[in-house]
Amino acid sequence: MGIIPKVRNLDCLIDSDDIASAGISDGRPLPIIHAIGMDDLPARRATLSPAVAAWLDQTGFTAAAGELALLPGPHGIDAAWVGLGTLKNSQGHFTAFGDLPNKLPAGSIWAIADDLTGPERQSALLAFCLGAYRFTEYRAAKRPPARLRLPKDADQRSIELARAIWFARDLINRPANDLGPAELADAVRALGDHHHASVTIISGATLERDYPTVALVGNGADRAPCVAALDWTGPDASADAPLIALCGKGVVFDTGGNDIKPAGAMLRMKKDMAGAAILMGVAHAVMAAGLPIRLALRVGCVENAVSGRAMRPLDIVRTRSGRTVEIGNTDAEGRLVLCDLIDEVAALNPAVIIDAATLTGAARVALGPDLPALFCNNEEWAARMLAAGSHSGDPVWRLPLWQPYDSWLDSPVAEMNNVSSKPFAGAIVAALYLQRYVPGEIPWVHLDTFGWNDQSRPGRPEGADTQGLRCITAALCEHFR
C-alpha cells in the first residue's frame, strides 16, 4: 500500500528566503514573467532596446493566447513574455500562466511582474500552481517544472485552493489497489487531523444498520465498505452557525457489479471516487478559509465488485430513510451510496446539501467531459452556482429536475427502482432518484461530474481533474464569508 494522500505543500512555489538555498546566490535578479495582450504589444515592444526588440521580432511573437517568448539580458534570460491574446482578464491570465511550468526552462525560478492587478495576479498564481502539478508516487517526473517566487501579496486563499486541487488530484490518480475503501477513509481522517476536525469511520454492523445501501454496494468486495464522517466548526462560528453538508460518492473502483461493464468501460474506473475527492478538496479550502460555518462531510467509501456476496438485479433493499428500492441495475450504484448519506445529513437541517459524483454517462453524452451537470431544487442556489462557476473559470451547466420523469423510477414490487426502464434522460432520472431523499425546504445541489482530463491543457495536466471544485468553493466562500 502506498502513502495515504494528504494535503501537501506546493513545491512549485519558493519563498524569497529560500532563493539562495535553491542555487541563486550571486545577486542576480530573477527573470520576470510579463503578460502581454495583443493590443498592448506595440507599446510594450517600444520599451525594449533595439537589439531585444529585434530578437522578439525574429521569434515571431504576436502575443497570441499562451504564446511564449524568452527575452535575453545581461545575465542570460532576462524575462518571459506570455501572450494573453485578446482576453485581458483573469481568465486570460489563467490560460496564459497554466502551461508555463512546462514551457519555461526546467527547474528555473521566476517572478511575476508587478504590473498585474490583484485578480489577475491571483489567477496567474493559481494557474501556475495547477499547471505544475505532477503525480509522482510511482514514477519520477520527466523534467522538473519551473518554479515561481511566492509573491509578497499572494492571496492565501489561492494557495490553499491549489493545495485542495492537488490533494483531490492525488486521490483520483491513485490506483485502486493502493486506494481501497479503508485508505479513502484514512485520507478523510488525515484531512480532519490537518484541520483539527472530528472524524468518525462507520463500518461493520453499524454501517449495515445506519447506511444499508452503502453496505449493499460494498458487500460484494473483499475490502469492506465504510462511511467517513468529518465534522468541523469554524473558529468564528457559533453553535447555531449555518451547517454545510457535503456528500461524496467514494466508489474506489466500479466493475459495474453483476451488471458488469465491458473491459473498455473499466479503464477509467479508478476515478469513480472523484466526487468524494472533489468534496474533500472543497472541505480543505473551506476549512483553510476559516469560514464561520459548521461543516459536515460524508464520504461513502466502497468498491463495486463481482462476487457471490454482490447485490443482484431485482434485489430489494430498505434504505436508511425506510424506503424500499428494487435494484434494476447494479451499475447504478452511485445513487445508492449517496441516498443514505443525503438522508442522514438532511436530518441535521443544513443550510444547503451539496453532493458530487461521477454518476452517469448520460451527463457526459449531454455535456461532454468539461461541463459538470448541475441539478438544484433552489433557484437562489442554482444562480449562485452558475455565477461562481463562471467567474472562477470552473463552469457548470444546469439541467432540469423534470418531474414528469419521476414516475419512470416506479417499481411494481418496491417503492422505487434505482434506474428507469426507459433509455432516455439518464442524468435527470438519477438526480430525481436522489431528490426523493431531500426534504423540499432544504436547498440541494447535485453535481454530476467527470473527474478526468484525457489531454493536457493549461493548468490541467492529463489525468485526474476536479471539475466543480473551484465552483463549489467559490459559491460557499462568497455566500458564507
Catalytic residue positions?
261, 335
> What is the spatial distance between Cα 408 and Cα 30, in angstroms, rounded to a whole number?
63
> What is the spatial distance between Cα 290 and Cα 162, in angstroms, rounded to a whole number?
16
| Sheet containing strand 416-417, strands side by side | 316-318, 324-326, 416-417
Amino acid at 168: A
Name the residue among 381, 399, 408 with its Cα closest to residue 448.
399
> What is the spatial distance between Cα 4 and Cα 191, in angstroms, rounded to a whole number?
11
Provide the β-strand partners of residue 460.
457
Backbone torsions φ then ψ of 461, nearest 5 degrees: -60, 155
Locate 412 and state its grid cell.
411494481
What single-letter DSSP state applies at residue 224? P
8 Å CB contact between 374 and 358 = no
Name the residue among 426, 408, 400, 230 with its Cα closest to residue 332.
426
> What is the spatial distance between Cα 265 and Cα 14, in angstroms, rounded to a whole number?
41
- Report the chain's terminal Cα–Cα distance, integer Å: 39
Residue the block writes with cell 506595440: 42
Amino acid at 92: G
